[in-house]
Amino acid sequence: MAADDVPIWAVRLRAEREKQLWAVPEMARQLRHAAGGALPDLDSLVRMIKKWEAGKHLPGERYQLLYGRAFGVSREHLFGTGAQPAEGPAAPLGADEVAGFGAWAESTNVGPGTLGYYAGAVNRLAHDYLHQPPDPVRVRAAELTRGVFGLVQNGRQRLDQTRELYGSAAKLCAFTAWACGDLGQMQAADAHARTAMILAEQADLPPVRALAFSVQSKTAFWEKRHTEAAVLARRGYECSPNDTMKVFLACQEADAWQELGDVPRALEALRSVDRARAEVDRDDEVGGLFSCGLARQLNYTMTVRLRAADPAAAIASAEQALEAYRQGEEWAYGTWAQIRVGMAHGYLLLRELEGADAALAPVLAQPPDLRLATVVTRVAELGRLLAQTRYRDDPLARSLREQIDEYRAGKQAVGREEGGAGDRVSDA
């Protein structure tokens, strides 16, 4: 091909390369860098670049975009509007270009070890959150999330690997939504919950979708959108496999209805809880924070029974939950504290001060956890019950009120030290 016959775009490609003082192999490296490494080997790219600069055939759309990115100019500047040869049909693809695309399609920036690491890290976070302060665990989750996002956005994976990365990213966003809600950061909680659902839909993994519905329901509950919380929990229940997340979603639905005072719907949701428990036939997708052992389930049952004005049944549920812990079920402070506070509430409704004192004493002896402001709120409700006329002159009632006041004062001091987290609840 005579020099005068070389297309203008080919002349521009060479001129821009020489302007950057790049040899052809360096141009190949720059294209690979622009693509995040997901391109053919350097020797194949060098051959392709030489053919492009000679005007033998037009780079494909992907390579046009990568050239623009490498040079920091627009695609139109290099190739013109439409980016087609001035005369005749487009040249057929050469063997090198076809082989290059095949190599790109097979390339990946992750392997089984990386995928397994992220999947395992999510599970560790969910377990650690039960026993560690929330903010350091959330920081670790943020670092992991950035890593997964970077792999998806800047690299190349097989379709099954991308799906698995989306699943891990959805779980990490779900975890962060929960943690942000516990810390009173509701805008961040809502954004992470919504992104978790988007990623879960892209991954098309039912257990991850159920997890996303759970955190969306929890966020709606925190924001007092209780009807929406119930609906979201039901949708998660309907798509969940038979693990304890399904049990938990039914518990969330029951909790939302009882908060609205709709006892019949709350009791119907408890029947779904029992059915889901009976049908569990697989391990949890994540576990830890997102699992629902018997104690956690009975905590929700107890709350509904209190709302239904059945204190004896509520106390029975609390006793069964504490027995589950004695039998070795994984212990979590939030659930344990709420069980004991609910049990004390039941005893007060039955006018049994000694039972209330025994149930509440271990909670009042613990320093208040800022994540669990709802525990403190419920303890405050007991203080209001104890202030009623029938208890006014009782020495034990007076002693309990004083202990509750001290507990609440301790919580307020912690809140000032930590900057305040708002009245959010985590039953983990």
Q: Is the pLDDT of residue 367 over 80?
A: no
- Of the ranges 65-69, 73-77, 382-386, 397-401, which one carries the lowest mean pLDDT score? 73-77
**Residue 426 banded pLDDT, cuts 50, 70, 90:** low
**Residue 174 banded pLDDT, cuts 50, 70, 90:** very high
CA atoms within 13 A on the CB side of 371: 22
In whole angstroms, how large is the CA radius of gyration of the chain?
A: 30
Q: How many whole angstroms separate alpha carbon 91 and alpha carbon 151?
A: 34
Q: Is the pLDDT of residue 411 over 70?
A: no
190 neighbors 265 (Cβ within 8 angstroms) = no
**What percentage of the chain exceeds 90 in pLDDT?**
45
pLDDT score at 392: 78
Q: From the CB of residue 361, how many other CB atoms can be counted at a distance below 10 Å?
A: 13
Tokens matching residue 177: 């939504």
Q: How many whole angstroms separate alpha carbon 416 and alpha carbon 300?
A: 30
Angle, CA 19 vertex, CA 15 and CA 24 arms, to 5°? 70
**Residue 8 banded pLDDT, cuts 50, 70, 90:** confident
pLDDT score at 133: 77
Burial class (CB in 10 A: 0-12, 13-18, 19+), 71: buried
DSSP string of 278-317, one letter each residue: HT--S--SS-GGG---HHHHHHHHHHHHHHTT-HHHHHHH
Looking at the chain, the number of H-run helices and the number of E-run strands are 20, 0
pLDDT score at 98: 62
Q: Is the pLDDT of residue 305 over 60?
A: yes
Highest mean pLDDT among 71-75, 330-334, 352-356: 352-356
Burial class (CB in 10 A: 0-12, 13-18, 19+), 168: buried
pLDDT score at 100: 55
pTM for the predicted model, two decimal places: 0.72
Highest mean pLDDT among 52-56, 200-204, 312-316, 383-387: 312-316
pLDDT score at 344: 95
Instruction: For the chain, give the mean pLDDT.
Output: 85
Q: Is the pLDDT of residue 109 over 90?
A: no
pLDDT in tens, 83-105: 444 444 455 555 555 655 565 56
- Of the ranges 3-7, 68-72, 75-79, 284-288, which one carries the lowest mean pLDDT score? 3-7
**Residue 135 banded pLDDT, cuts 50, 70, 90:** confident
Contacts with 169 (C-beta within 8 Å, 6 or more apart), sequence order: 145, 148, 149, 152, 199
pLDDT in tens, 259-273: 999 999 999 999 999
Q: Is the pLDDT of residue 418 over 80?
A: no
pLDDT in tens, 215-266: 999 999 989 999 999 999 999 999 999 999 999 999 999 999 999 999 999 9
